[in-house]
Structure 1
Amino acid sequence: MLTGWPSQLDELFGRISGEFARAEPRRQARKYLEGLLGGAKRKNGWQLAEQIGDARPWRTQRVLSHVLWDQDRVRDVCRAYIVEQLGRDGVLIVDETGFLKKGEHSVGVARQYSGTAGRIDNCQVGVFLAYATERGHALIDRRLYLPEDWLDDEHRREGRIPADVAFATKPAMARAMIAQALDAGVPCGWVAADALYGSDKSLRVLLEQRAVPYVLAVRGNEVLNVLTAEREFLHLKASALADLVPEDGWKRLSAGVGAKGQRYYDWARLRLFRLQEPLWDHWLLIRRNRKNHADKAYYVTFGPMETTLADLVRVAGRRWAIEECFEIAKQDCGLADYEVRSWHGWYRHITLAMLALAFLAAMRRRLNVERGAAAVRHSSRLPTACRRSATSSPPSKGSVHPGSL
């Protein structure tokens, strides 16, 4: 049982309370944050109002629409809080998620591919940045993707989208968020992303110029350069390079713990043609299904020369953390339950939902620490073999409602 969480939530809200000049909007923002952490099945306006004791949702909705506050400064607080709570050995992970919509008036909504639905559907798409360590993970930045049709239609964008917002691809948004996080001093050991972002050569250049290691997924048709031991220069697709790995060149390693235990795959890496100074190196990392050898995944990687295969596998496996962030944020923090249509409304709701997720991540870390300490105290009275078992079980990954702590 974790006690004292209300005071912890008060402390977190105290970091952003100065954004609200008047007492009444400040109280409503605090209620909104607590409502996002509550047990309502859906965190829409009416259900949130019922949960926090308001007869109507209007006062809380005004927090997202009319009250003056800076959602980017709150985002900065959320980012700093996560680093403080989860440690300074983090991996930055970028990915997008869809928000299914029925109408056509929400800013940025269009028929576009949604990984959430697994198909083209009517939705909004947000690009997110997550921070993950061994202690936990949470979202630290967000961008709303605007299809070109929205920005080219003056009637649609007038009064709804800031005049200085121009079209940006999803990879361009990812580069901007990563650069902003690095400029803000976020300690970053590695960057990980799926193939949509890994295939963006501008992202690779950005990270290499900043000496930030990365493990970025690419498609099998990504053309790469290899200099063989015989000094032969090869210019081949990633899938063709994988075929050059001899059977004894594969090593079975775990990509981390999944829902069914350790996720074991066969792994190999090939050194790519290097343009950097010798202190750094490039590799093609290849993941092969243990049973179906034709099922492979590919990663372009960059890191210090002493980086091991196990290091690269660990980072590749860490990418799943952002998927869990989306799942928990949508199920437990109302990330996708908003009813706003405006640009500022979207950013404000998403930012407060991210702050709620950050609080859950911090409380989950604290709960795991307390459980670990209790296990150690209990195991001191057990035989040695049982003591090892009591202290080596992995931490639970489920979300934590404050009401159940």
Structure 2
Amino acid sequence: MNAADRFDQYLEHLSEGLGHADRRAGLRGYCTGLMLPLSRKSVEPMAARVDPTHASARHQALHHFVAKAEWSHDEMLRRVCQWVIPKMDFTGGGWWIIDDTGFPKKGRHSVGVARQYCGVLGKQDNCQVAVSVSLASTQASLPVAWQLYLPEDWAADPERRLKAGVPEQMRFATKTQIALQQLQALLVAGAPKHCVLADAGYGVDNAFRQALSDMGLAYAVGVTSAVVVWPPGVVPLPPEPYSGMGRPPVMPRRTSALQPMSVKTLAQSLPSKAFQNISWREGTNETLTGRFAAVRVRHAGDNTGKARLRPEQWLLIEWPADEAEPRKYILSTLPEETPIHALVGIAYQRWRIERDYQDLKQDFGLGHYEGRGWRGFHHHAALSIAAYGFLMAERLEADKSVGGKKNFAARQVPPLPKDYIPRGSPARPAARDNFDHHAAPAAELSADRQTRAVSLLRQSKRKATLMT
């Protein structure tokens, strides 16, 4: 079976979650467009390449499919998982990776746009931000949950909500709250309880870490240097005896000799022999190696130290020998017997989500959606992940058959018609032979290829769960 036939099977599987058979052409056309090497993967250029002889009609059809049609992006992601995750090998471990990514955006009418921190720009600017959860193994990772962060001023503005089609039940939630809701939904659907990885933007929130523990999930999350802990070997005194008035005391008592300290101060108090050089993976050009120390601590409360006594957990510190102070701090509830090499290897699996975002944005048009509505924003993201998921599944299968050779399906571009006029251009523009600056041989994955029923995939009408 060649790649085009497997693509047919994949689309057949996804289309069973669309609700109406007439949406299948939209699914095929949109996913095909996202997989073509176009410099811009918004609806118009994709329509022109997918169906060059009927570009205007295909543009309208694809726009309706992504922006208006009432199908569930959550169901689309679930079906992508059903196809890709069974091909991932979890014998070396599995992880849930939480992160968010920004999309620079002008104006104020696109759903969720606000002046906020944008990681792509590295500063505060007008942008949209989405929160995601990815499932990762030692081979690959895949976003399995995706939701736009709706700032407070948007959540409280009924006029803008109505125009952008924000669902009525959507209320303001912080990014950490969104991530916890996503994880809870995954667990309810039968997902396994893997360790959770997140950066300090999430990990510094004590309520977030406690919620992960309450869900039965181990974690390895970044924290800031100001977080306060009880250092190794220090056992604080129990709370003051209850007087019978008010709430019983919960904070441990302190003396001049029993005081918590910031993780930065603790790191600076450690002897140099507490640190060792550890390599955790092969990078593009060299093995990635760092200088680490790991100690057992108890969290004592953000930067004030005012919190009830918590169980012991790991504090992992990365401190390069040539830098004046530590680079990273990570709190983890992985078992006490976890060796430092394994602790570093797990905590630093978070790089995979950065690679997901990079590939999705550069190769699958994740940030190219030009509409303003809630539905279109989530539909476009789900379809970008669907296209990404197919090629990931192809790579995973190729890795099994040819010992790791990356044998992706060919992605070629059909030519533009000579009389095609891009929207917004003068009525009689000059010839555009170099539109998008790509050559244009015939496409292997045709948007009009006839699909065939596959009985195995039709069995998925039953309620499915995420299994690894």
In the superposition, the TM-score normalised over structure 2's length comes to 0.75
Q: Which amino acid aligns with 2:195?
A: W
Instruction: Give the structure 2 partner of residue 403 of structure 1.
Output: 411
Match runs of 1:296-375 below 5 Å: 296-372=327-403
Equivalents in 1 of 2:184, 2:108: separation in Å? 32
In structure 2, the partner of 1:78 is 80
Q: Does residue 1:164 correspond to 2:169, yes or no?
A: yes
- Identify the structure with the greater strand proportion: 1
Higher helix residue share: 1
Q: Is the contact between residue 113 and residue 119 of structure 1 (CA under 8 Å) also seen in structure 2?
A: yes
Q: What amino acid maps onto 2:188 in structure 1?
A: D
Instruction: Quote the Cα distance in structure 2 between the aligned partners of 1:23 and 1:302.
Output: 47
Match of 1:263 in 2: 288
- Which of 166, 182, 199 is equivalent to 1:194? 199
Task: Classify the secondary structure of the residue corresponding to 2:322.
Answer: coil
Q: How far 1:21 moved relative to its partner?
A: 4.4
Counterpart CA distance in 2 for 1:129 and 1:399 is: 27
Once residues 287 and 316 of structure 2 are traced to their aligned partners in structure 1, the CA distance between those partners, rounded to angstroms, is: 19
What is the deviation of 1:116? 0.6
- Counterpart-to-counterpart distance in 2, 1:138 and 1:19: 19
Map of 2:149 onto structure 1: 145
Query: Residues 100-115 of structure 1 correspond to what in structure 2 (within 5 A)?
Result: 100-115=104-119
Between 1:207-216 and 1:28-37, the stretch displaced more is 207-216
Q: How far does residue 226 in structure 1 lie from its aligned partner after superposition?
A: 2.8
Does the aligned pair in 2 maintain the 1:83–1:186 contact within 8 Å? no
**Matched position secondary structure for 1:43:** coil
In structure 1, the residue matched to 2:229 is 224
Report the count of equivalent residues: 376
Alignment of 1:10 with 2:8, yes or no, is yes
Matched, 1:242 2:240: no
Q: Pick closer, same or farther for the CA change 1:227–1:153 going to 2, 3 Å.
A: same
Task: Say if 1:201 and 1:82 are closer, same or farther in 2 by CA, change over 3 A.
Answer: farther
Specify the SS of the correspondent of 1:192.
strand
Which string of whole-angstrom CA distances, capped at 9 and with x for unpartnered residues, describes residues 334-382 of structure 1? 101111210111111111111111122212222222331xxxxxxxxxx
Determine the structure 1 residue equivalent to 2:65: 63
Moved more, 178-187 or 30-39: 178-187
Q: Distance in 1 between matches of 2:88 and 2:258?
A: 44
| Identical-pair percentage | 30
Mapped partners of 1:211, 1:23: distance in 2: 41
Task: Tell me, yes or no, if structure 1 residue 285 matches structure 2 residue 316.
Answer: yes
Bigger Rg over Cα = 2
1:130 to 127, 134, 137: 134
Residue 5 of structure 1 deviates from its aligned partner by 1.9
CA distance in 1: counterparts of 2:84 and 2:272, whole angstroms: 43
* Cα deviation, residue 134, structure 1: 1.2
Q: How far did residue 243 of structure 1 move?
A: 1.4
Secondary structure, counterpart of 1:16 in structure 2: helix
In the TM superposition, what is the alpha-carbon distance from 1:79 to its structure 2 partner? Answer: 2.9
Contact 1:227 1:234 in 2 (8 A): no
Q: Which runs of 5+ in 2 are unaligned?
A: 237-256, 301-310, 413-443, 445-468
> CA 1:15 to 1:245, structure 2 compared with 1: closer, same or farther past 3 Å?
same
Give the residue type in structure 2 aligned to 1:68.
E
Task: Tell me the C-alpha RMSD between the 2 structures.
Answer: 2.3
Residues 188, 261 of structure 1: CA spacing in aligned structure 2 closer, same or farther, 3 A cutoff? farther
State TM-score, norm by structure 1: 0.87
Partner residue of 2:212 out of 179, 183, 207: 207
Gaps of 5+ in 1: 373-394
With over 3 angstroms needed to count, the CA separation of the structure-2 counterparts of 1:233 and 1:283, relative to structure 1, is farther
Using the alignment, how far apart are the partners of 1:219 and 1:212 within structure 2? 21
Give the Cα–Cα distance (whole angstroms) in 2 for the partners of residues 264 and 123 of structure 1: 35
Aligned-partner Cα distance in 2 for 1:235–1:402:
58
Quick one: distance in 2 between partners of 1:156 and 1:366? 45
**Greater relative contact order: 1 or 2 (C-alpha under 8 angstroms, separation 6 or more)?**
2
Mapped to 1, the partners of 2:258 and 2:232 lie a distance apart of 5
- Paired AA for residue 122 in structure 1: N
Contact 1:255 1:316 in 2 (8 A): no
